[in-house]
Structure 1
Amino acid sequence: MEHFCELGGLKQIGFGSDFDGISMHVTGLEHAGKYPNFINELLKRYKEEDVKGFAFQNFFGP
């Protein structure tokens, strides 16, 4: 993700929470109810404005 941002893709990143049909997951992200954990981890590394983009605003365009 950092590399993608370094290449100028900051506004092209968008995460969803559709866990239907997956057999593998990241520890701590076993289901959509744990999505806030992911957001909190992102906030430790990225500005709040950027995390809002990753979570929803980037889906809506400029």
Structure 2
Amino acid sequence: HGPSGEGNKPATFPALRSQHADYLIKTLTDFKSGTRSKNTDNMMYMITKKMTDDEIKAVSYYISTMK
């Protein structure tokens, strides 16, 4: 999603900066549980399955403060 959360249109990675933390927490949790994507080869599933709930919250709150 880029070093500043600006997104990457050619790679279809959406911008994340300034996104609401609650939305990011839900989205990352859904990727982790497989609710967001049933594809276990999905990049976000592979990343989030290694994260604790506290790590998901911390990353989400950090991203929500990016401008």
TM-score, with structure 2 as normaliser: 0.30
Query: Which structure has the highest helix share of the two?
Result: 1
Greater Cα radius of gyration, structure 1 or 2? 1
Name which structure has the greater RCO, CA cutoff 8 Å, separation 6+.
Answer: 1
TM-score, length-normalised on structure 1? 0.31
